[in-house]
C-alpha cells in the first residue's frame, strides 16, 4: 500500500500546486510547480519510483519494469490524488479563470507541445531513475523538475502545460481546462509516453577497455 499512497500524495500535491497557481504570474506558477515536482520525487522515489504521472507509469510498464496490476493501481492512485486536489482547490480558491481552450484551431499546437514535453519528461525519467544504471542518481528529481520548468515557461500559453494526464484531469474537474478538449491531452501525453518508452536507452553504453602499456620490470 505504501507505493500507492506515495503516488496518491505526490499527484495530489502536484495537481494542487498546479491548480492553485493557475491565476498567479506564469513565471511564479512555473517555478512553484517545478519545485513541488522535485520535492515529491525526492520524497517518494524510494517508495514508488516517484511517477505521479500516468504517462510515466505507462512508459515504465511498457519497459517491463512494472506489472499490469501495478499499472492500474498507480493510475487509480494518481487520478484519485488529482480528483481530491481539484475538490480542495475549488473549495479553497472559489474562483475560475477562463478555461484553456485547445479545441478548433488550437488542437494541433496543443497536441504538439503536450507530446513534446511529455516525451521529454518520460525520457528523462527512463534515462535516470528507472534505468538500472542510474539507480543512485540523486539528481533525478532535479532533472524532472527542470524539464517541467522549461515546459511551463515556454508553452504554458499554448496548452496550459499539463504534460501529465492526472494534471489534465484535475485541471478539467476544476474548470481550468474545458471538457471538450481533454482528449487532446490524453492523446498527446499517451503518445509521448509510448515514444519515450521506445527510444530511451535501455543499457549502459559500452566503455572501451583502456589499453595499458607493459610496466618495465
The single residue listed with the C-alpha cell 493557475 is 22
Angle at alpha carbon of residue 151, lines to 149 and 155, rounded to 5°: 130
Q: What contacts 191, CB < 8 A, 6 or more positions away? A: 115, 118
Give residue 54's pLDDT: 96
Each residue's pLDDT tens digit, 15-45: 999 998 877 888 999 999 999 999 998 888 8
Is pLDDT of 133 > 60?
Answer: no
Give residue 74's pLDDT: 96
Q: Return contacts of 152-157, CB within 8 angstroms, 24+ apart.
A: 152/26, 152/29, 152/30, 152/33, 152/34, 153/26, 153/27, 153/30, 155/113, 155/116, 155/117, 156/26, 156/29, 156/30, 157/26
How buried is residue 16: exposed, middle or buried, by Cβ count under 10 Å (0-12/13-18/19+)? buried
Is pLDDT of 161 > 50?
Answer: yes
CB contact at 8 A, 53 and 166: yes
Give residue 24's pLDDT: 81
Is pLDDT of 167 > 50?
Answer: yes
Give residue 122's pLDDT: 95
Give residue 49's pLDDT: 84
Higher pLDDT among residues 50 and 147, named by residue? 147
CB neighbourhood size of 63 (10 A)? 16
Average pLDDT, the chain: 86
pTM of the model: 0.87
Structural domains of the chain, ranges and CATH numbers in brackets:
2-199 (1.20.1080.10)
- Tell me the pLDDT band of 209, cut-offs 50, 70 and 90: very low
Euclidean distance between CA atoms 128 and 137, whole angstroms:
7
Is pLDDT of 183 > 60?
Answer: yes
Give residue 36's pLDDT: 94
Range 57-79 average pLDDT: 94
Share of the chain above pLDDT 90, in %: 59
Closest C-alpha to 117, from 62, 162, 58: 162
Each residue's pLDDT tens digit, 69-116: 999 999 999 999 999 999 999 888 876 667 788 888 889 999 999 999
DSSP string, 14-79: HHHHHHHTTTS-HHHHHHHHHHHHHHHHHHHHHHH-S--SHHHHHHHHHTTSS-HHHHHHHHHHHH
Q: How is residue 83 annotated by DSSP? A: H
Amino acid at each position: 500500500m505504501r507505493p500507492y499512497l506515495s503516488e496518491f500524495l505526490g499527484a495530489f500535491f502536484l495537481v494542487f500546486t498546479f491548480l492553485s497557481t493557475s491565476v498567479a504570474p506564469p513565471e511564479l506558477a512555473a517555478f512553484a510547480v517545478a519545485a513541488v515536482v522535485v520535492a515529491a520525487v525526492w520524497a517518494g522515489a524510494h517508495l514508488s519510483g516517484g511517477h505521479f504521472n500516468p504517462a510515466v507509469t505507462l512508459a515504465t510498464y511498457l519497459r517491463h519494469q512494472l506489472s499490469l496490476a501495478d499499472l492500474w493501481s498507480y493510475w487509480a492512485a494518481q487520478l484519485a490524488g488529482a480528483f481530491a486536489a481539484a475538490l480542495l482547490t475549488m473549495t479553497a480558491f472559489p474562483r475560475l479563470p477562463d478555461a484553456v481552450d485547445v479545441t478548433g484551431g488550437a488542437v494541433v499546437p496543443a497536441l504538439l507541445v503536450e507530446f513534446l514535453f511529455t516525451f521529454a519528461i518520460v525520457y528523462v525519467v527512463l534515462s535516470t531513475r528507472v534505468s538500472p544504471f542510474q539507480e543512485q542518481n540523486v539528481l533525478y528529481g532535479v532533472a524532472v523538475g527542470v524539464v517541467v520548468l522549461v515546459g511551463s515557461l515556454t508553452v504554458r500559453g499554448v496548452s496550459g502545460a499539463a504534460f501529465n494526464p492526472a494534471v489534465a484531469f484535475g485541471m478539467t474537474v476544476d474548470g481550468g481546462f474545458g471538457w471538450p478538449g481533454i482528449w487532446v491531452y490524453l492523446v498527446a501525453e499517451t503518445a509521448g509516453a509510448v515514444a519515450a518508452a521506445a527510444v530511451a536507452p535501455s543499457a549502459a553504453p559500452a566503455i572501451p577497455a583502456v589499453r595499458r602499456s607493459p610496466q618495465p620490470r
